[in-house]
Every structure is written in C-alpha cells, then in structure tokens.
Amino acid sequence: MYRIGQGIDFHKLVEGREFWLGGIHIPHSKGALGHSDADVLLHAICDALLGALSLGDIGQHFPDTDAAYKGIDSKVLLQRSYQLVCERGYSLVNIDSTILLQAPKIRKYVDEMREVIAGILNISVEDISIKATTTEQLSFIGREEGIVATANVLLRKNNQPV
C-alpha cells in the first residue's frame, strides 16, 4: 500500500532571527519567526509525513503553546514525525518540495539540505527534491516579509513489493 502526503508551512521573516532552512543555517539579514527555529521546509515535510497517514499535523504533535518546543531544532521534529510513520509500518519513498522566497538565493545550499534531510530520514539524497522560486517581487514573499515551503511525500507499507 502506498500513501501520499502534502504539507505546507508559512513563516514571517524578521530581522534579528537566524535563518534556518532544510536543517541548515543560512546567512541572511532576516530569519523566520516562530516558536521553534521556524524551519519552514522541515515543517512542511513533517506535515506531509503526518498527513499521509492521517496523523494530524505538526501543531497537533508539537504545539506552539508547549514550552518544551520553544526554540527546538526542527530536525528533532522531523525525526519524531518520521518515527511515527515507521511505527505504523511505513517507509519513505521520496520527497518533492518547493520553497517560495525572494531572498536569499539558496541554490548553493540545496545539496547540503538534501544531505541533512537524508540523514534524518535514512533515505538517499537522490530521493529528495528541493526546488526554490521567487514570486517576482509580488506579495508578502516578494516584499521579503515571509517564506513558504510545500512538500509532497510518498510512503510505502514495508511489506509492499517494489
């Protein structure tokens, strides 16, 4: 049996915050505002993993009202989300994701992001796609007020033939 999940996350960009994306720190004048490190890509992947198995969303499992998650590294949230998937007898086939942001340009960081995510999820970097696009200076993204990430995942039941 196969299951598909889709996730999306938005965060406001503000000065004075570190910019975390795909599990890595990227130098930039702004960072995403959030209860955790506000890594929109990892949050979107968490939601896609959870959604594929109808397990709710990241806010249900790691609420921003819980002090335990204040400032938490989103790599931990991703690992815990995937643990829930594995406990139900599924494994990850692939991830396809898109990041919408005006700046900074992230092309030179994508391979490192893929390596970090692959390490957490125990899959090959070839099974992780990370794309980025601007909004041509339109909307809150184009004005560099926020960032959005989407992710789609394919899960396979562990006893399912390839």
104 pLDDT above the threshold of 90: yes
The beta-carbon contacts of 120-124 under 8 Å, at least 24 apart in sequence, are: 120/23, 120/75, 120/78, 120/79, 120/82, 121/78, 121/82, 121/92, 121/95, 123/92, 123/94
| Model pLDDT, residue 146 | 96
Query: What is the β-pairing status of strands 20-21 and 146-157?
Result: unpaired
pTM of the model: 0.95
* Measured distance CA(32)–CA(10) in Å, rounded: 9
| Model pLDDT, residue 162 | 61
Centre a 10 Å sphere on the Cβ of residue 142 and count the other Cβ atoms it contains. Answer: 16
Q: Is the bond leading into 161 cis (omega within 30 degrees of zero)?
A: no
143 pLDDT above the threshold of 70: yes
Centre a 10 Å sphere on the Cβ of residue 126 and count the other Cβ atoms it contains. Answer: 9
Q: What's the whole-number mean pLDDT along residues 59-81?
A: 92
CATH of domain 2-157: 3.30.1330.50
Range with the poorest average pLDDT among 19-28, 56-65, 107-116, 148-157: 56-65
Model confidence at 69, in pLDDT bands (50, 70, 90)? confident
